[in-house]
Amino acid sequence: MKSATGKEQKIQFGKMARKQLPLYRQYEEEKYSEGEQESWHAITERIEMTERRTLRRKVLYAVAAAVVLFAVAGVSFRLYMVTADERPIEELAQTFQTPQEAGDKILLVTTGEKQMDVDDNASLKYKNDGTVVVNSQTVDQNVVFDKNQPAVYNQIIVPKGKRTHIYFADGTHIYVNSGTKVTYPAVFAREKREIYVDGEVYLEVKRDVNRPFYVKTEGMSVQVLGTSFGVCAYQEDKESSVVLVSGKVEVETKARQKVTLSPDELFSMEGSVTSTRKVDASEYVCWTEGLMIFNKEPLDSVFKRLSRYYGQEIRYEHKKGQPYYVSGKLDLRDSLEEVLGLVAGFAPVTFNKTDHIITVEVIE
C-alpha cells in the first residue's frame, strides 16, 4: 500500500508542477535572457516522460490481468502455453499424454491436458481466432496473435472403430481415420501451416502460395501448397505411405531424400527403403466414403485395416511363408460380421470369436 500511495503522490506532484510551470516561466522570462530558457524545456520533457512511463505501466498491468483472467464460452480449458519457435511440432506432439480413460471415445486434448469427448463422425470447426466448435459447444482458447507470443496446440485422439473431421479456418479439411492422433496449432502461423500425424488422414488442403502446408510424421515430411492426398503413417506399422489424388506434393524423408509426386502416385517407405509407383489413388482414400478396396493385398494387411476400422481385435493365424494375396471391395457401412462373411467368400478362412477377440484361421 505504501508503494501505491507513493506512486499516486508522484503523479499528483507532476500535475501540480505542470500547472505552476507557466507562472514560473513567465517570471524567468522577465528576469533572464532567452538563451537560458532551454532548461525549462528539459524540465517540462522530464515531467511528461515520467507521466508517460506511469501510464505505460498501467496499460501493461491491465493487459497482464486480462490474459490471466479470461472467460471461456461453452467449455472451459486450462491452456499450457508452448512457444511455437522453441520446439518442432514432432517433439511437441510427444508432450501430450494420452488419457488412460480414453477408451473408445474420441478426445480433443489441449496442451494443458484438458479434454472433451467428441461424437463419432462429428466435425471440429475452427475459426480465425482459434475458437473451435465441437458437438455444438464453443471453446474459446484465448489465442494471442503475435509471433513472439506462445502458440496454443490441440491434439485429436481417434480410437479404433471411430472417425472424425477437422475443418481449419483457412479452408483445409482433414478426414481422420481410426487409431489416429493429429497434433496441430489452434491458429496456423503466418508463414506456414503445419500438423503432425500418427495414423491415417486424408487432406483437402486450401491453396495458399504464401503459407505452404506441412504434414509431419515419424519418418517423413510432406509439403504442399494446395492439393488432395492421403497419408498413412502409424508408428506401430513398418511401412508409411503418401498417395496423391490431385495437385503436387513433395515428400522428404529423415535421410533428406526428396520425392515429388504427381496424381495417382504412391510413395512408400519401410525403414530406409523407399519406392514410388503408379496406382489408382481412389483405392487408398475410399475409406473416407466407408469403402475398402484392395488389389493383390496381403490378407493379414486386410484384417489389420478391418481391426482398426471397427475397433475389434482380429488375430490372423497362419503358417509362416508366402503371404496370401486377395483383391476385392468391402462396404464398411455393413457390420463387421457381414464384412467378414464377404471376406470368407473370396479367401479360404474361418472365423472364431471368443472373449471379444476374433481369430482367423486359414483353411489348408
Write the CB contacts of 315 (distance below 8 Å, at least 6 apart in sequence): 357, 358, 359, 360
Q: What CATH number is given to the structural domain containing 295? A: 3.55.50.30
Question: 77 lies in a domain?
Answer: no
Residues spanned by the domain of 265: 89-283
| Strand residues in 93-217 grouped as ranges (E) | 106-110, 115-118, 123-126, 132-134, 137-139, 153-158, 164-167, 173-176, 180-185, 193-204, 213-216
Q: Are residues 254 and 158 in the same domain?
A: yes
Whether residue 113 contacts residue 80, with contact meaning beta carbons closer than 8 Å, is answered with yes
Whether residue 330 contacts residue 337, with contact meaning beta carbons closer than 8 Å, is answered with no
Whether residue 91 contacts residue 194, with contact meaning beta carbons closer than 8 Å, is answered with no
Q: Express as a percent the part of the chain with pLDDT over 90.
A: 49
pLDDT band at residue 45 using 50, 70 and 90 as cut-offs: low
Write the CB contacts of 235 (distance below 8 Å, at least 6 apart in sequence): 198, 218
Q: Are residues 47 and 194 in the same domain?
A: no
Q: Are residues 133 and 223 in the same domain?
A: yes
pLDDT of 144 over the 70 cut: no
Q: Are residues 277 and 203 in the same domain?
A: yes
Question: 325 lies in a domain?
Answer: yes
Q: Are residues 245 and 121 in the same domain?
A: yes
Question: One-letter amino acid identity for 328?
Answer: G
255-266 pLDDT per residue, tens: 999 999 999 999
Q: Are residues 189 and 157 in the same domain?
A: yes
Q: Are residues 268 and 302 in the same domain?
A: no
For the chain, what percentages of helix, strand and coil (3-state, to nearest 5) are there?
A: 30, 35, 35
Q: Looking at 283, 315, 347, which one is the last position of a domain?
A: 283
Give me the pLDDT at residue 278, please: 97
Q: Are residues 150 and 275 in the same domain?
A: yes
Question: 82 lies in a domain?
Answer: no
Whether residue 361 contacts residue 349, with contact meaning beta carbons closer than 8 Å, is answered with yes
Length of the chain: 364
Give me the pLDDT at residue 117, please: 83
- Phi/psi for 338 (5° steps) reads -65, -40
Q: Are residues 57 and 189 in the same domain?
A: no
- Phi/psi for 85 (5° steps) reads -80, -15
Q: Looking at 283, 304, 330, which one is the last position of a domain?
A: 283
Mean pLDDT over each residue of the chain, to the nearest integer: 78
Question: 73 lies in a domain?
Answer: no
Question: 83 lies in a domain?
Answer: no
Q: Are residues 117 and 35 in the same domain?
A: no
Q: Are residues 118 and 178 in the same domain?
A: yes
Cell numbers at 50, concatenated:
515520467
Whether residue 176 contacts residue 111, with contact meaning beta carbons closer than 8 Å, is answered with no
Whether residue 332 contacts residue 292, with contact meaning beta carbons closer than 8 Å, is answered with yes
* pTM more than 0.75: no
Residue with cell 489408382: 280
225-251 pLDDT per residue, tens: 889 999 999 999 999 999 999 999 999
Q: What CATH number is given to the structural domain containing 98? A: 2.60.120.1440
Give the whole-angstrom CA distance, residue 205 versus residue 196.
15
Give the whole-angstrom CA distance, residue 183 versus residue 190.
18
pLDDT of 51 over the 60 cut: no
pLDDT of 149 over the 80 cut: no
Whether residue 124 contacts residue 155, with contact meaning beta carbons closer than 8 Å, is answered with no
Q: Are residues 105 and 247 in the same domain?
A: yes
DSSP assignment string, 247-293: S-EEEEETT--EEEE-TTEEEEEETTEEEEEE--THHHHGGGGTEEE
Question: 81 lies in a domain?
Answer: no
Q: What's the number of domains the chain is made of?
A: 3
The C-alpha angle with vertex 147 and arms to 95 and 205, in degrees rounded to 5, equals 70
Give the whole-angstrom CA distance, residue 112 versus residue 80.
4
pLDDT band at residue 121 using 50, 70 and 90 as cut-offs: confident
Give me the pLDDT at residue 313, please: 94
Cell numbers at 292, concatenated:
475398402
* Residue 172: strand, helix, or coil: coil
Write the CB contacts of 24 (distance below 8 Å, at least 6 apart in sequence): none
Over residues 61-81, the mean pLDDT reads 32
Question: 337 lies in a domain?
Answer: yes
Question: One-letter amino acid identity for 237?
Answer: D
Give the whole-angstrom CA distance, residue 184 versus residue 99.
18
Question: 94 lies in a domain?
Answer: yes
- Phi/psi for 258 (5° steps) reads -115, 135
Cell numbers at 88, concatenated:
518442432
